[in-house]
């Protein structure tokens, strides 16, 4: 097993990789004690069976630069293959401001190819590569050096088997003509906005049961302070204060240190110093928010829906039938909430656009409009034009 610890060795491998049609990529990182993921290892593999066709890159090695890897990521002639790429891509975007392109995510492709919803890497290794996968090193401390042989073997397996998985799924997409479906699904991963977390919008991730505008204004200011504080010090947001404490503060509206001391949920460290000052300032800002700027509850698309239960049930039957026919997971095509919204008359949904329209959405609308009926034929459900 080859471990790259110098910029020169990384440049040599990436130079060779640039002559291949694809490179498989994975990472090992830690995030328990930091806001941003700490990159501890990068695994790379190109087609072939030679020992140097799959390598480990140590980003913690003294003096190493990942610039050659980022140049490879920008090379449009080499497909960058990941599995469940979201967290890996965030690391590279935060570090270098780039998203590898062109991108291929085997988890997305597997869902489109009929392997189920959010299928795991281990499952694909077993079904496609026909190989066992030792996961015993998965939760080890990847920042410690030296790495053990077991860690190296585990890490390398995450990119060597990925070659077989990519080639099988890519061929299946070519055969079925579903490559465009995968491209649609990758739009979110290819969007830089996916990896940007702005303090201004942090409140949208806090689940509340209260729709009071003033309460939400305080939630917004507290979440903004917490996010900015966590980012600036690179610590997990829950180390500042947790969501339950945030909601308690928005409810009790503390005005001084004495009020803060009465909190049941606030960590001791947050009751003094900069965090305490930030909390009190955020509460004041929330209370002082002008009425016209008070935030409104995030729309979930289901408010005041007049759902026809019988029609929603018919849509569920249609979805199940289409899922079985196409061998694509139902949840990937449409969610239960989507079906209720379609039955209530909503038409601005992803389930009704793109490849989903072809598979399900167009017929769903025709069913709602009375232009299509469902019929049982043996063990299958068929559609009848009306």
Kindly report which listed range (71-85, 92-106, 205-219, 278-292) carries the lowest average pLDDT score.
205-219
Q: Residue 271: pLDDT above 80?
A: yes
| pLDDT tens readout for residues 220-253 | 999 999 999 999 999 999 999 999 999 999 999 9
| pLDDT tens readout for residues 312-328 | 999 999 999 999 999 99
Predicted pLDDT at 253 = 97
Give the mean pLDDT of 283-287. 98
Highest mean pLDDT: which of 246-250, 303-307, 377-381? 246-250
Percentage of residues in the chain having pLDDT higher than 90: 87
Q: Residue 350: pLDDT above 80?
A: yes
Q: Number of C-alpha atoms within 13 angstroms, CB side, residue 294?
A: 13
The whole-angstrom separation of Cα 370 and Cα 350 is 22
DSSP H helical ranges for 186-296? 213-233, 237-240, 243-252, 257-261, 273-287
Closest to 28 measured CA to CA, from 122, 132, 139: 139
Give the chain's domains with CATH numbers: 2-195 (3.30.420.10), 199-293 (1.10.150.80), 309-385 (1.10.150)
CA angle 207, 119, 202 (to 5 degrees): 20
The whole-angstrom separation of Cα 71 and Cα 67 is 6
Predicted pLDDT at 176 = 95
| pLDDT tens readout for residues 44-63 | 999 999 999 999 999 999 99
319, two tokens: 């979805």
Identify the band that residue 14 occupies on the pLDDT scale cut at 50, 70 and 90. very high
Give the mean pLDDT of 10-25. 98
Predicted pLDDT at 300 = 58
Predicted pLDDT at 122 = 93
Identify the band that residue 304 occupies on the pLDDT scale cut at 50, 70 and 90. low
- pTM value surpassing 0.85: yes
| pLDDT tens readout for residues 191-216 | 999 999 899 999 999 999 888 999 99
Longest dimension (CA), the chain: 72
| pLDDT tens readout for residues 84-137 | 999 999 999 999 999 999 999 999 999 999 998 888 999 999 999 998 887 777
Q: Residue 65: pLDDT above 70?
A: yes
Which residues are paired to 23 by β-bridges?
80
Non-local (6+) Cβ contacts of 180 within 8 A are 355
Predicted pLDDT at 299 = 65
Identify the band that residue 138 occupies on the pLDDT scale cut at 50, 70 and 90. confident
Cα dihedral: 235, 236, 238, 240 (round 10): 20
Q: Number of C-alpha atoms within 13 angstroms, CB side, residue 111?
A: 21
Q: Residue 306: pLDDT above 70?
A: yes
Q: Output the DSSP codes for 298-351.
A: PP-S-TT----HHHHHHHHHHHHHHHHHHT--HHHH--HHHHHHHHTT---SGG
Tell me the average pLDDT of the chain: 94
Give the mean pLDDT of 357-365. 97
Predicted pLDDT at 377 = 82
Non-local (6+) Cβ contacts of 264 within 8 A are 248
């Amino acid at each position: 097993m080859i471990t790259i610890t110098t910029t020169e060795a990384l440049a040599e491998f990436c130079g060779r990789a640039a002559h291949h049609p694809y490179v498989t990529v994975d990472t090992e990182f830690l995030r328990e004690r930091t806001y941003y993921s700490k990159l501890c290892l990068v695994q790379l593999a190109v087609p072939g069976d030679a020992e140097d066709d799959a390598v480990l890159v140590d980003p913690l090695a003294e003096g190493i630069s990942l610039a050659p890897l980022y140049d490879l990521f920008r090379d449009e002639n080499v497909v960058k293959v990941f599995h469940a790429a979201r967290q890996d891509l965030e690391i590279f975007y935060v570090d270098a401001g780039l998203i590898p392109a062109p991108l291929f995510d085997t988890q997305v492709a597997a869902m489109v190819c009929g392997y189920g919803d959010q299928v795991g890497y281990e499952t694909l290794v077993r079904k496609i590569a026909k190989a066992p996968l030792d996961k015993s090193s998965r939760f080890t401390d990847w920042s410690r050096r030296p790495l053990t042989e077991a860690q190296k073997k585990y890490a390398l397996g995450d990119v060597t088997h990925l070659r077989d998985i990519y080639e099988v799924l890519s061929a299946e997409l070519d055969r079925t003509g579903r490559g465009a479906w995968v491209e649609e699904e990758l739009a979110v991963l290819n969007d830089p906005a996916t990896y940007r977390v702005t303090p201004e919008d942090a409140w949208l991730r806090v689940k509340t049961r209260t729709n009071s505008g003033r309460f939400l204004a305080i939630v917004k200011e507290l979440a903004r302070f917490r996010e900015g504080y966590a980012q600036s010090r690179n610590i997990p947001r829950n180390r500042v204060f947790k969501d339950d404490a945030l909601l308690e503060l928005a409810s009790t509206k503390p005005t001084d240190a004495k009020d803060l001391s009465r909190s049941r949920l606030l960590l001791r460290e947050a009751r003094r110093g900069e965090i305490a000052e930030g909390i009190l300032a955020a509460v004041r800002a929330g209370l002082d928010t002008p009425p016209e700027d008070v935030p409104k509850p995030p729309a979930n698309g289901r408010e005041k829906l007049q759902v026809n239960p019988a029609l929603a049930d018919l849509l569920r039957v249609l979805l199940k039938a289409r899922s079985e026919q196409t061998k694509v997971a139902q949840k990937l095509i449409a969610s239960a909430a989507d079906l209720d919204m379609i039955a209530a008359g909503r038409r601005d949904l992803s389930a009704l656009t793109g490849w989903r329209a072809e598979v399900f959405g167009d017929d769903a609308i025709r069913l709602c409009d009375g232009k299509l009926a469902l019929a049982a034929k043996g063990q299958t459900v068929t559609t009848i034009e009306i």
